[in-house]
Amino acid sequence: MAEQVQRQRIFSGIQPTGNLTLGNYIGALRNFNLLQDEYDCLYSIVDLHALTVRQDPTELRKACLRTMALFLASGLDPEKNIIYFQSQVSAHAELGWVLDNFTYMGEMSRMTQFKDKAAKHADNINCGLFTYPVLMASDILLYQTNLVPIGADQKQHLEICRDIAERFNAIYGDVFTIPEGYFPKVGARVMSLQEPTRKMSKSDPEDTYIAILDKPEIIRKKLRRAITDSENSVVYDPENKPGVANLMSIMSALTGRSMDDISNEYSGQGYGKFKDAVADSVIAALEPIQREYERISADKAYLQQVMDSGRERAGAIAHRTMLKVRKKLGIAPWKL
């Protein structure tokens, strides 16, 4: 009989805020797809995290469904992977509260995402925004995750997750698996088209990002307007030529071509031609996803079924970890 090998577990999440971008695709979603055959994967639409900034309920509900449809349209198989909404498994919030008690104020105030978001939403610097990384740690630790595919912007949050888990384990024994990050080789930080020293973000103005669902003409237009420099040379130099380097990384991430190869083909031809070629590679990558998205998002019964099954399967694993945590902490047990 073939030996049953326990596969490594993967967990990752994406917030259902705004429109998913090319950054989310290259930094996260595309890797989810590459990993689904070799690992035991959970991919969550982290809607509780979205509450850290004020959301319009109608818009948020639509964004939740849109994100799930995009997960599926990008190729994630709901049989192989557990695809579900974070808020539907209440253990996330529960463990989040527990872990708050093992996290220090000083650690949270050093988080760069907190500082960025606090500056952007100065009128609503709430406690949820402050403890956001603790909820993220509970997402990961609930499932005894080995590997977390994320973009480079989430490195700091993963580090704090590991610190919290190690701290907890040092007191209570081996409760949580200590997770590792999994980052794309190229494109771990796709930059804004208008300010190429900042990351591309779905909560920034429209012309700074390419949405996965942008139509081809819009993609071409946004890339033609992308900020570059006045040198007209397609050379990979992120320090001095961040705009060009960003476009080269996008092309390289989507086509697998090396920077040298891209540089050799387009150097000396002017940026117009290069930008058009970048647009071609982006359109070629996104068009099939857009077609699938139209089909899947019209099929409410299918989405309902994926949602229900994801909730159940994720809930069962989360429950096992929570039983262990409850026992270790000494809070009321299920069975006397």
Which residues are at the interface with ligand LTN (CB under 6 A)? 11-13, 15, 46, 49, 136, 139-140, 148, 150, 154, 157
| DSSP-based three-state secondary structure for 3 | coil
Alpha-carbon gap, residue 187 to 32, rounded angstroms: 14
Catalytic residue among 62, 117, 222, 275: 117
Name which of 102 and 302 has its Cβ closer to ligand LTN: 102
From the list 62, 160, 63, 68, the residue with the least C-alpha distance to 112 is 160
The only residue of 19, 27, 147, 160 in contact with ligand ATP, by rule CB under 6 A:
27
Q: How far is the CB of 140 from ligand LTN (least distance, A)?
A: 5
Scanning 9-17, 34-42, 245-253, 319-327 for contacts with ligand ATP by CB under 6 A, the matching segment is 9-17
Give the nearer residue to ligand LTN in terms of CB position, either 96 or 243: 96
Using alpha carbons, select from 279, 293, 295 the residue that is nearest to residue 22: 279
Stretch near ligand ATP under the rule CB under 6 A, chosen from 76-84, 125-133, 184-192, 301-309 = 184-192
201 near ligand ATP, rule: CB under 6 A = yes
Scanning the structure block, which residue is given the tokens 């709901």?
A: 78
Give the residue from 51, 39, 41, 50 showing the smallest Cα distance to 12. 41
Give the burial class of 136: count Cβ atoms within 10 A of its Cβ; 0-12 exposed, 13-18 middle, 19 or more buried. Answer: buried
Query: Amino acid letter at 254?
Result: L
- CA 115 – CA 260 distance, rounded (Å): 37
User: Which CB sits closer to ligand ATP, 202 or 220?
Assistant: 202
154: contact with ligand ATP by CB under 6 A: yes
11 binds, among ligand ATP, ligand LTN, none (CB under 5 to 8 A by kind): ligand LTN
Task: Decide: residue 158, CB within 10 A, 0-12 exposed, 13-18 middle, 19+ buried.
Answer: buried
Q: Which of 9, 10, 11, 15 binds ligand ATP (CB under 6 A)?
A: 15
Q: Is 202 a catalytic residue?
A: yes
From the list ligand LTN, ligand ATP, none, partner contacted by residue 200 (C-beta under 5 to 8 A by kind):
ligand ATP
Contact stretch for ligand ATP (CB under 6 A) within 96-104, 183-191, 292-300, 301-309: 183-191
How many residues line the site for ligand ATP (CB under 6 A)? 22
Rg of the chain over CA atoms, in angstroms? 21
Closest distance to ligand ATP from the beta carbon of 114 (Å):
11
Task: Please identify which of the residues 80, 120, 155, 202 carries the catalytic annotation.
Answer: 202
Site for ligand ATP in 74-103 (CB under 6 A): none
Q: Is 150 in the site for ligand ATP (CB under 6 A)?
A: yes
DSSP 182-245: E--SS-SSPBPSSSTTSB--TTS-GGG--BTT--HHHHHHHHHT----SS------TTT-HHHH
Using the rule CB under 6 A, is 181 a contact of ligand ATP? Answer: no
Burial 197-213 (b: 16+ CB within 10 A, else e): eebbbbebeeebbbbbb
Of ligand ATP, ligand LTN, none, which one does residue 202 interact with (CB within 5 to 8 Å by kind)? ligand ATP
Site residues (vs ligand ATP, CB under 6 A): 14-15, 17-18, 21, 23-24, 26-28, 150-151, 153-154, 188-190, 199-203
Tell me the catalytic residues: 117, 199, 202
